[in-house]
């Protein structure tokens, strides 16, 4: 018979007491009962996997009498065993006199769960109507690794339940104090350490009620133990240097047939400057092929190792190559597996699982292993050095914008990355990386490696999921990047969030994984996009303005509709800049000099009308950037007052970019026009500005980047250690 994983209320009460919480005074039916005859008590029948006792007739309110209690407990046992529930014990608890607040809900639900997000605490309305109240006020989600009880208190005070408890609604009186709530939250943080020591993965308290003195009491509590988590063996931490600037590269899988995968990879690699002899082909029976030196197999790389080995061989041959490399203990810092059929639906031989076991076993034993990317590794790009390891021909997708930049693009879908590059061909980025199937190196490993660098650039990632043991290290890496002032933007695909708030309030075990995942990563500092359009807009900003700072946004246009539509997107995440009395006076003078007085109202958003030329735009932009944190310039180019081609357009674009540099603030240009004006947009992009086709898109990107502007700076918090006697 398998051991039980269910944690009954009797055991849960003991854990709560150790953590500093206050469950009701209690005792077991056959043990010592700390009650006097006639005292109001609650009898609870405890059974295996009984999470809701009242539904099975296992709860009875009564006056204490030992004989009567024993008789009722025996009847409860019969009812539970009749429905196949193994009897555990009868628990007798004191009846707590609970505070009330008129007809308002006052009971709380608390769930402490350990999963891929580490320990996550859910706090919201409890009781029988928890699901209904969750629609009005969703439960708070607190990842304990990235929050303190003090930070949680600030959020609880603003939650509807906290406001009811503290009497901060009209017509209510305080039921408890801020100090009591602080004690409760501190004890819940302690509870994570206690439950972790006891091997639990879930503990639910429902309801938590306030007594007449304002002291919180968890009245019911059940939980579950879980299997020990298997720790993953992370990739070697120094792989980024070998990926970004490999001094020596080997490629396996190049055929004589033009147009194949291996041949296309080779054509792309030839643009990367390497010393003669440092681009090597793995090709048995050949000394030279296509004017490049060859080696018979990876055994030759042991004596002359490479930084990067790209394996464009069928799955069985690729697995054999990697196995030999690991067995020989060296030869390549990074291995990229291009083919599929390793660990996916086509892997009928289980090759991927064998390779994962081999890598994990070797690393755990301290033996050498390479960092392995893929399978289905589409490639990576370093524009500044023309490094391109992909199998996408340059006539199908032009080479990245050569100036590069500090932005890092990561994607769990190679096609997604290609589409972003195609849509934004002048996007400035320093590293683009398609992660493939993440058999070994995963997103969390790349984020950790980026956080360990001295870099300053932002990171944008397309994410479809996290494997076992990957989410928590990803969150920690994002926290470190955020602490360095580096923006992290994530587009999470595969979202199915319907009904998550209600489920989270009903039971923490049912809380949506995606919501918990997002709560953790947002607490760590990540900014999420809800649509690909938002992600593209954020990329455009980050590619031109890597050192991001949020603040009031000024909108300058020559079209009234842009001012109106843009105003609709201003709000908490995109605050609108305002003009003080002095700035308005200066603006009136500028408008007077350019013959716009009486035509243009001196207010924000500023609509210069089609009568404005480049000079008016530049002088007003200079003025607005004195106070605004960000400037968006909307240009409808049909007016003859603007030169939309040639040297005039290029000079204007450089002048706008120079203003951003002068003030040290982000500037974007939106040219709302068709393909006839693509060269006009190109002029601004080549000047280093963020360029959009609509003002709306520019503001959407700002809304993403300002999404956590007011969030506190978070620090990693260790789960409180358990005292020795636990």
What is the per-residue pLDDT across 411-467, written as a single tens digit (0 to 9) for each? 999 999 999 999 999 999 999 999 999 999 999 999 999 999 987 899 999 999 888
239-542 and 549-705 agree in CATH topology: yes
C-alpha to C-alpha distance for 726 and 722, rounded to whole angstroms = 6
CA torsion 357-358-364-367 (nearest 10°) is -170
Give the mean model confidence (pLDDT) for residues 368-395.
95
* pLDDT recorded at residue 559: 92
pLDDT greater than 60 at residue 377: yes
Q: For 151-177, how does the pLDDT look when each residue is reduced to its tens digit (9 = 90+)?
A: 999 999 999 999 999 999 999 999 999
pTM for the structure as a whole: 0.83
* pLDDT recorded at residue 506: 36
Residue 428: name the closest of 452, 404, 461 by CA: 404
Cβ within 8 Å of residue 71, ≥6 positions away: none
Q: Which CATH class is domain 239-542?
A: alpha beta
pLDDT greater than 50 at residue 502: no
| Confidence band, pLDDT 50/70/90 cuts, at residue 117 | confident
C-alpha to C-alpha distance for 611 and 483, rounded to whole angstroms = 46
Residue 458: name the closest of 533, 544, 386 by CA: 544
549-705 CATH, one of 3.40.50.261, 3.40.50.2030, 3.40.640.10, 3.30.413.10: 3.40.50.261
> Which alpha helices (DSSP H) does 614-713 contain, by range?
614-624, 646-663, 678-686, 695-705
C-alpha to C-alpha distance for 112 and 120, rounded to whole angstroms = 6
Work out the percent of the chain whose per-residue pLDDT is above 70.
94
- In this structure, are residues 318 and 374 in contact, taking their beta carbons and an 8 Å threshold? no
Give the mean model confidence (pLDDT) for residues 247-273.
95
pLDDT greater than 80 at residue 722: no
Q: Tokens for 133?
A: 């109240």
108-225 CATH, one of 3.40.50.300, 3.60.20.10, 3.20.20.10, 3.30.470.20: 3.30.470.20
Beta bridge partners of 110: 123, 205
Helix then strand then coil, % of the chain, to nearest 5:
35, 20, 45
Q: Tokens for 566?
A: 């843009």
* pLDDT recorded at residue 725: 31
Which residue matches tokens 């296509």?
Answer: 290
Residue 2: name the closest of 47, 48, 53, 46 by CA: 48
* pLDDT recorded at residue 643: 93
| Confidence band, pLDDT 50/70/90 cuts, at residue 492 | very high
Query: Residue 39: what are its φ and ψ, rounded to 5°?
Result: -70, 135
- In this structure, are residues 240 and 453 in contact, taking their beta carbons and an 8 Å threshold? yes
- In this structure, are residues 563 and 607 in contact, taking their beta carbons and an 8 Å threshold? yes
- In this structure, are residues 457 and 431 in contact, taking their beta carbons and an 8 Å threshold? no
* pLDDT recorded at residue 707: 52
Q: Tokens for 301?
A: 């790389």
pLDDT greater than 80 at residue 501: no
* pLDDT recorded at residue 488: 97
Cβ within 8 Å of residue 628, ≥6 positions away: 551, 552, 553, 554, 577, 665
For residue 100, how far is the Cα from the chain centroid?
39
CA torsion 313-316-317-318 (nearest 10°) is 60
Strands 379-382 and 606-607: unpaired
* pLDDT recorded at residue 719: 37
Q: For 311-363, how does the pLDDT look when each residue is reduced to its tens digit (9 = 90+)?
A: 999 999 999 999 999 999 999 999 999 998 888 778 888 899 899 999 999 99
∠ CA 682-683-686, rounded to 5°: 80
For residue 645, how far is the Cα from the chain centroid?
42
More confident residue, 568 or 3: 568
- Asked if residue 202 has a cis previous peptide bond (ω within 30° of 0), the answer is no
Which class for 527: exposed (0-12), middle (13-18), buried (19 or more C-beta within 10 A)?
buried
CATH number of 25-94: 3.30.1490
Q: For 598-654, how does the pLDDT look when each residue is reduced to its tens digit (9 = 90+)?
A: 899 999 999 999 999 999 999 999 999 999 999 999 999 999 999 999 999 999 999
* pLDDT recorded at residue 717: 42
* pLDDT recorded at residue 500: 39
C-alpha to C-alpha distance for 146 and 478, rounded to whole angstroms = 11
Strands 488-492 and 527-529: parallel
Q: For 531-562, how does the pLDDT look when each residue is reduced to its tens digit (9 = 90+)?
A: 999 999 999 999 998 877 778 999 999 999 98
Q: Tokens for 503?
A: 């489920």
CA torsion 50-51-54-55 (nearest 10°) is -80
What is the CB neighbour count within 10 angstroms for residue 422? 11
C-alpha to C-alpha distance for 426 and 258, rounded to whole angstroms = 29
Coil vs helix vs strand at 348? coil
3-state SS track over 664-678: CCCEEEEECCCHHHH
* pLDDT recorded at residue 230: 60
Q: For 294-310, how does the pLDDT look when each residue is reduced to its tens digit (9 = 90+)?
A: 999 999 999 999 999 99
Give the mean model confidence (pLDDT) for residues 463-475.
90
* pLDDT recorded at residue 583: 94
| Confidence band, pLDDT 50/70/90 cuts, at residue 567 | confident
Give the mean model confidence (pLDDT) for residues 1-12.
86
What is the CB neighbour count within 10 angstroms for residue 45? 27
> Which alpha helices (DSSP H) does 221-273 contain, by range?
239-244, 261-269
Beta bridge partners of 27: 92
Domain locations in the chain? Answer: 25-94, 108-225, 239-542, 549-705
pLDDT greater than 50 at residue 132: yes
* pLDDT recorded at residue 291: 93
Query: Residue 333: what are its φ and ψ, rounded to 5°?
Result: -75, -40
* pLDDT recorded at residue 683: 96
Which class for 225: exposed (0-12), middle (13-18), buried (19 or more C-beta within 10 A)?
middle
> How much is the mean pLDDT over the chain?
90
- Asked if residue 516 has a cis previous peptide bond (ω within 30° of 0), the answer is no
Cβ within 8 Å of residue 405, ≥6 positions away: 428, 429, 430, 457, 543, 544, 546
Helix axes 581-593 and 614-624, enclosed angle (nearest 10): 170
Q: For 56-110, how does the pLDDT look when each residue is reduced to its tens digit (9 = 90+)?
A: 999 999 999 999 999 999 999 999 999 999 999 999 999 999 999 999 999 999 9
pLDDT greater than 60 at residue 364: yes
C-alpha to C-alpha distance for 490 and 461, rounded to whole angstroms = 5
| Confidence band, pLDDT 50/70/90 cuts, at residue 241 | very high
Residue 706: name the closest of 632, 636, 647, 634 by CA: 632
Q: What distance, in Å, lies between the first and last C-alpha atoms of the chain?
A: 28
């Amino acid at each position: 018979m398998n051991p039980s994983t269910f944690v009954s209320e009797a055991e849960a009460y003991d854990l709560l007491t150790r953590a500093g919480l206050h469950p009701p005074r209690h005792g077991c039916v056959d043990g010592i009962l700390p009650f006097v005859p006639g005292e109001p008590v609650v009898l609870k029948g405890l059974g295996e996997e009984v999470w809701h006792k009242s539904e099975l007739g296992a709860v009875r309110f009564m006056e204490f009498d030992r004989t009567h209690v024993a008789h009722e407990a025996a009847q409860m046992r019969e009812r539970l065993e009749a429905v196949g529930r193994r009897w555990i014990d009868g628990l007798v608890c004191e009846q707590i006199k609970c505070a009330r607040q008129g007809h308002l809900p006052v009971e709380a639900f608390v769930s402490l769960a350990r999963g891929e997000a580490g320990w996550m605490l859910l706090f919201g309305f409890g009781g029988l109507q928890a699901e209904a109240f969750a629609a009005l006020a969703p439960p708070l989600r607190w990842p304990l690794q990235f929050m303190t009880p003090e930070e949680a208190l600030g959020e609880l005070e603003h939650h509807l339940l906290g406001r009811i408890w503290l009497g901060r609604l009209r017509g209510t009186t305080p039921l408890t104090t801020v100090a009591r709530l602080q004690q409760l939250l501190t004890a819940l943080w302690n509870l994570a350490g206690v439950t972790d020591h006891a091997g639990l993965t879930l503990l639910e308290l429902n309801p938590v009620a306030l007594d007449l003195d304002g002291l919180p009491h968890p009245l019911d509590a059940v939980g579950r133990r879980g299997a020990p988590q298997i720790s993953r063996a992370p990739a070697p931490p120094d792989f980024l240097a070998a990926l970004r600037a490999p001094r020596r590269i080997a490629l396996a899988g190049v055929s004589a047939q033009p147009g194949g995968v291996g041949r296309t990879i080779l054509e792309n690699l030839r643009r990367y400057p390497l010393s003669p002899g440092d681009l090597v082909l793995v090709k048995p029976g050949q000394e030279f092929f296509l004017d490049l030196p060859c080696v018979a197999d990876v055994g030759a790389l042991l004596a002359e190792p490479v930084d990067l080995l790209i394996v464009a061989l069928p799955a069985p041959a690729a697995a054999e190559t990697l196995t030999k490399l690991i067995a020989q203990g060296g030869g390549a810092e990074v291995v990229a597996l291009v083919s599929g059929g390793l660990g996916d639906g086509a892997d009928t031989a289980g090759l991927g699982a064998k390779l994962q076991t081999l890598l994990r076993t070797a690393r755990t034993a301290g033996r050498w292993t390479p960092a392995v990317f893929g399978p289905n590794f589409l490639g990576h790009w370093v524009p500044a050095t023309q490094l391109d390891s992909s199998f996408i021909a340059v006539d199908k997708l032009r080479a990245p914008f050569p100036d590069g930049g500090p932005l890092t693009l990561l994607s769990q879908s190679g096609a997604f990355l290609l589409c972003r590059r195609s849509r934004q061909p002048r996007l400035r980025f320093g590293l683009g990386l398609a992660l493939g199937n993440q058999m070994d190196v995963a997103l969390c490993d790349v984020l950790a490696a980026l956080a360990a660098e001295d870099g300053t650039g932002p990171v944008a990632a397309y994410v479809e999921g996290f494997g076992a043991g990957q989410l928590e290290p990803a969150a920690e890496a994002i926290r470190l990047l955020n602490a360095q002032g580096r923006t992290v933007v994530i587009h999470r695909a595969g979202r199915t969030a319907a009904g998550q708030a209600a489920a989270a309030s009903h039971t923490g075990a049912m809380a949506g994984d995606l919501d918990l995942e997002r709560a953790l990563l947002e607490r760590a500092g990540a900014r999420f996009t809800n649509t690909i359009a938002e992600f593209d807009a954020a990329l455009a900003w980050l590619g031109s303005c890597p050192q991001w700072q949020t603040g009031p946004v000024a909108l300058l246009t020559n079209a009234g509709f842009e001012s109106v539509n843009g105003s609709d997107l201003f709000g908490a995440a995109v605050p609108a800049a305002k003009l003080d009395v002095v700035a308005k006076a200066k603006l009136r003078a500028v408008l007077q000099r350019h013959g716009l007085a009486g035509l243009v109202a001196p207010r924000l958003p500023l609509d210069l009308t089609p009568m404005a030329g480049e000079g008016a735009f530049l002088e007003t932009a200079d003025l607005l950037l004195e106070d605004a944190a960000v400037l968006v310039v909307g240009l409808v180019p049909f007016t003859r007052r603007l030169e939309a081609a040639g040297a005039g357009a290029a000079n204007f674009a450089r002048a706008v970019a120079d203003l951003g540099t002068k003030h040290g603030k982000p500037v974007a240009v939106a040219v709302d026009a068709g393909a006839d004006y693509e060269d006009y947009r190109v002029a601004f992009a080549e000047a280093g500005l963020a360029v959009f086709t609509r003002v709306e898109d520019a503001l959407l990107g700002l809304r993403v980047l300002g999404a956590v502007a007011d969030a506190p700076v978070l620090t990693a918090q260790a789960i409180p250690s358990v005292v020795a006697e636990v």
